[in-house]
Amino acid sequence: LLDDIIEEKLFNPTSVCIALVAGGILMLGTEYWKKRSGKEQSELSLHELSISKCLMIGFLQCIAMWPGTSRSMMTIVGGYYAGLRPALAAEFSFLLGLITLSAASGYKALTMGKALLILNAGPLLFGIIVATISAALAVKFLVHVLTRYGLSAFAYYRIVLAGGILLALS
């Protein structure tokens, strides 16, 4: 019922560009808040996260259903507000993504039924292995950039990308 309205309003290039810019501004604002509030030296570990902080980070993931936002961006920003260091916020994002995407993949596999049986297991297994290695390398790079530059590098990238998309469309 709302599917068509949501798709019409959110699944278009302009809406995606708005989400890219909004995410960039959110990231810059988060960096500014972190520096101003003195949360820069927070040493909170993943085990010290309260249920309410974990739920807050989880709910922030829901915003990522809007194309142009990013699940990892929302969980990393949430991790910052929860008091995690950038590296731990990225690790937490990766762990949440692993659980979320595994559950979504499992659900998709179950709903495919017999169509899944005709797939060759070899290429599927190879794809899973390559995806796992790629994800590990991407997380390592992300943690390095976050530790060195904070969210600002990603924020500016998002804003420039949105501008490039709008230029290409005009």
pLDDT tens-digit series, residues 41-75: 556 777 788 899 889 988 888 888 888 998 889 99
Angle between helical axes of 86-112 and 121-149 (0-180°, round to 10): 160
Domain residues for the domain of 56 are 3-169
pLDDT tens-digit series, residues 24-49: 999 999 989 888 877 655 567 777 88
Distance CA(89)–CA(62), nearest Å, equals 17
If one counts the domains in the chain, the total is: 1
